[in-house]
Amino acid sequence: MDNAIERPGAIALFDVRTGRLVRNLTSASIDRSPTFAPDGRSVAFERSGAIYRVAVGCGRPVLLIQRGTQPSWSR
């Protein structure tokens, strides 16, 4: 059974070719609005009115901005 589907709101990374889960990026049910960094190495997302970043390869979410919504990247 796929854990990502069991936790609505969590952000997960799937392999587009196989459809298989690669990694759960977050585990909180309140995470939303994920957006990839231009280099594809990180994902920014919103959690409880704050903006976080998590590395795609591994690691824990890091708080970037305490009050913010709808994260986006610029070059």
pLDDT digits (tens, 9 = 90+) for 19-41: 898 888 998 888 999 999 999 99
* Residue 27 confidence (pLDDT): 84
* CB-neighbour burial class of residue 25 (10 A; exposed 0-12, middle 13-18, buried 19+): buried
Nearest to 46 by CA among 72, 24, 22: 72
**pTM for the whole structure:** 0.81
Pairing of strands 50-55, 62-65: antiparallel
pLDDT band at 7 (very low <50, low <70, confident <90, very high): low
* Residue 1 confidence (pLDDT): 47
> Are the beta carbons of 33 and 46 closer than 8 angstroms?
yes
Q: Could you state, in order of their start, the residue ranges of all structural domains in the chain?
A: 3-65
* Tens digit of each residue's pLDDT (9 = 90 or more) over 43-75: 999 999 999 999 998 889 999 999 988 888 877
State both tokens at 17.
């070719």
